[in-house]
Amino acid sequence: MAAAAPTPTSSLVSKPHSFANLPKLHSKFTLPFPRNPQKPNAAAAAAISHRRNLQISNVISSPNKKIQREETFVSRFAPDEPRKGSDVLVEALEREGVTNVFAYPGGASMEIHQALTRSSTIRNVLPRHEQGGIFAAEGYARASGLPGVCIATSGPGATNLVSGLADALLDSIPLVAITGQVPRRMIGTDAFQETPIVEVTRSITKHNYLVLDVEDIPRIVKEAFFLARSGRPGPVLIDIPKDVQQQMVVPNWDQPMRLGSYLSRLPRPPSGVLLEQIVRLISESKKPVLYVGGGCLNSSKELKRFVELTGIPVASTLMGLGSYPCSDEEISLQMLGMHGTVCANYSVDKSDLLLAFGVRFDDRVTGKLEAFASRAKIVHIDIDSAEIGKNKQPHVSICADIKLALDGLNSILEDRSNGGKISLDFSAWRRELKEQKTNFPLTFKTFGDAIPPQYAIQVLDELTGGNAIISTGVGQHQMWSAQFYKYNKPRQWLTSSGLGAMGFGLPAAIGAAVARPDAVVVDIDGDGSFIMNVQELATVRVENLPVKIMILNNQHLGMVVQWEDRFYKANRAHTFLGNPSDESEIFPNMLKFAEACGIPAARVTKKDDLRAAIQKMLDTPGPYLLDVIVPHQEHVLPMIPSGGAFKDVITEGDGRTKY
């Protein structure tokens, strides 16, 4: 997914000025501020501040649109009552609708945590490491579509957020990260736990702020949330010195945002002429294919309608899984790319029209760029103008919100279908692709009692009806989870796609469980990824989150081992994660980690026992850890080697074979 965001930048804040003449933002939806469920008393009623609904939009509309009706927010403070900057910050979060944060305290952020204890609206889910906190905030955002919020102290606390910020930027995840900073007078003096986090994160955030005036906090928080979720979503960092947090102020909640240049670059509604041109290309095509990515996650309904009207097969990126149901055997080709299905990659290779919606032509999808969709006319629709033509030059491009573009395409198709002006039949093309599915299905081999890791995911899919929220770490288990679990809805699939950050799975599952307490949440993890944030088991237990953890434990860094097998003559270069002095022992003992945190756990080693073990995991109330021992010789197939083309696809072999 991509956007009309400003280039990553930073702000040293100053006094605001008005942009009254800018066109108003128009949106199809709003996020109301939370209401106090209790009837306010007289003092509270006096403190009511009238607020408008936050206008969330990816496009600019004309100034004539009606403004949404006003909402009210009940403050804990009287209108003219001074309060600390930290209390202003917490109330600003409340006004943005925040109900959960993932915050780890320290010296420079203590004031914020003290203020959080005075909030009756916001719950802090205490991580055991700042990286766990930001990955949990990402999981929250990915599962809910709302911005995730994490808070850390200065210095090492702030730098521990770096991987999460980079991950959120690459995967376009709305995130607001707040860091404490040393007092203003000490900035630049190499003070204790001082890190210039604004400079450190400049290139891995959509925008960031260093707050130098306590009066700017209301405006900055408003801008940060707007930036995080408008256009191409992404992470925004707010760095607040401790003395600003402690400063007393009467806040002005009606300050206008100062985002003139950003607003002017947000894309307009899609051109009707270009949409007509796309419909004409579809009508002339014989072998079209949809290539959909994370940009389509908020447009699943419109995408399904487009497919109903056209019958065009759908191939998804790793980020796009769930935007169209993977269980639709007729239309879904599942994932394309390096470890995508043969039929998905075949469809792109043979297509005459590639409809690239909400994607960025990532190298793990395209392989050799010159050979990717070399026979096809390419239509690229994306919200980020920077992505259009960056890697692959399209024949037709539209910089717009994909939801609006699909709405427009659907309207044209419906009108023409009803008028008898267009009749689309791609059944012969779908039969050709079905033959590829039949000839090259996703499959695996079984060796004795050993548990094929693919089978474990297949059984989990069956027992959960394909309805669980799945998070993963990074590696072989991640690719098998993408291949063998059938995602039918958006926001079921949480994984670090662009950055590929190991240790993502468990904290992301925590965030998902907080955001979606009604859902079954399963972290499918590898032993290497799991141990990178194993400390978050303590958070799972203390918060009593019903997170299920299924570790595919092969005692190796599996994906690197696969590359060693294929390209380095199976020479093991520090990829064995067990105990070299006793390779027959399962090391470390994952069950002991679970026991230390009071989480029920079990280990399964035989295929015949697997189904019952997974069922027990799902049936056990609260958290549960299942250690599934799998062979390390398994390879993720199909595989197109890095920089290769469809003709180079590998469909056979594993670590038991010499290359």
Catalytic, 192? Answer yes
pLDDT confidence of residue 487: 97
For 488-526, the three-class secondary structure string (H helix, E strand, C coil) is CCCCCEECCCCCCCCCCHHHHHHHHHHHCCCCCEEEEEE
DSSP 329-388: TTTEEEE-STTS-HHHHHHHHH-SEEEEES----HHHHSSGGGTTTTSEEEEEES-GGGT
Note whether residue 502 is domain-resident.
yes
Q: What are phi and psi of 605, to 5 degrees?
A: -120, -15
| Contact of 495 with 472, CB cutoff 8 Å | yes
How crowded is residue 241: how many other Cβ atoms within 10 Å of its Cβ?
23
pLDDT at res. 353: 98
Closest CA to 651 of 348, 445, 368, 351: 445
Residue 608 lies in a domain: yes
State the CATH number of the domain containing residue 410.
Answer: 3.40.50.1220
Nearest to 461 by CA among 492, 505, 440, 434: 492
Q: For residues 368 and 256, state if they share a domain.
A: no
Total structural domains within the chain: 3
> Is 1 a domain residue?
no
Locus of tokens 């038991």:
656
Residue among 28, 29, 81, 192 flagged as catalytic: 192
Catalytic: 24?
no
Q: For residues 618 and 46, what is the distance between their CA atoms, to the nearest angstrom?
A: 50
Question: Which of 235, 264, 293 delimits the end of a domain?
Answer: 264
Residue type, 534: V
Domain end: 264, 290, 310, which one? 264
Whether 138 sits among the annotated catalytic residues: the reply is no
Residue 587 has pLDDT above 60, yes or no: yes
| Residue 322 covered by a domain | yes
Residues 424 and 457 in one domain: no
Looking at residue 39, what is its pLDDT? 38
What pLDDT does 49 receive?
Answer: 39
Q: Are 371 and 458 part of one and the same domain?
A: no
- Domain range holding 564? 453-636
The pLDDT of residue 656 is above 90: no
Does the residue 424 lie in any domain? yes
| 19, 71, 77, 193: the active-site residue | 193
With cut-offs at 50, 70 and 90, classify the pLDDT of residue 4. very low
Over 80: is that where the pLDDT of 14 sits?
no
Residues 504 and 434 in one domain: no
Q: Which residue has the higher pLDDT, 459 or 73?
A: 459
What pLDDT was estimated at residue 360?
Answer: 96
Region 399-426: what's the mean pLDDT? 94
Q: Is 440 a catalytic site residue?
A: no
Q: What is the pLDDT of residue 71?
A: 65
Where is the domain boundary, 232, 264, 296?
264
The answer to whether position 356 is within a domain reads: yes
Of the residues 206, 242, 403, 486, only one is catalytic, namely 242
Q: Which residues, 6+ apart, have CB-to-CB distance to 420 below 8 Å?
A: none
Would residue 479 count as lying in a domain?
yes
| Together in a domain, 156 and 304 | no
Whether this prediction's pTM lies above 0.85 is answered by yes
What percentage of the chain exceeds 90 in pLDDT? 87
pLDDT digits 0-9 by tens, 28-81: 333 333 333 333 344 434 333 333 333 334 544 433 433 343 468 999 999 999
530 and 429 share one domain? no
pLDDT for residue 138 is more than 60? yes
Kindly state the average pLDDT of the residues 424-450: 95
Catalytic entry in 1, 335, 338, 559: 559
Regarding whether 410 and 329 lie in a shared domain, the answer is yes
Lowest-pLDDT range of 169-183, 351-365, 601-615, 645-659: 645-659
Same structural domain, 399 and 460: no
Q: In this structure, are 592 and 496 located in the same domain?
A: yes
- In this structure, the answer to whether residues 529 and 585 fall within a common structural domain is yes
User: Is 227 within the bounds of a domain?
Assistant: yes
Phi, psi of 618 (to 5 degrees): -70, -30
Same domain, 471 and 335: no
305 and 181 in a single domain? The answer is: no
| pLDDT score at 419 | 82
Q: β-strand 48-52 against 70-74: which pairing, if any?
A: antiparallel
Weakest-pLDDT range from 42-51, 613-622, 645-654: 42-51
**Catalytic residue flag (residue 131):** no
Q: DSSP readout, 121-132?
A: SPEE---SSHHH
CATH code of the domain in which 510 resides = 3.40.50.970
Which is nearest to 164 in space by CA: 237, 104, 89, 94? 237
Measured at the alpha carbon of residue 244, what is the angle toward residues 240 and 248, in degrees to the nearest 5?
Answer: 140
Q: What is the mean pLDDT of the chain?
A: 91
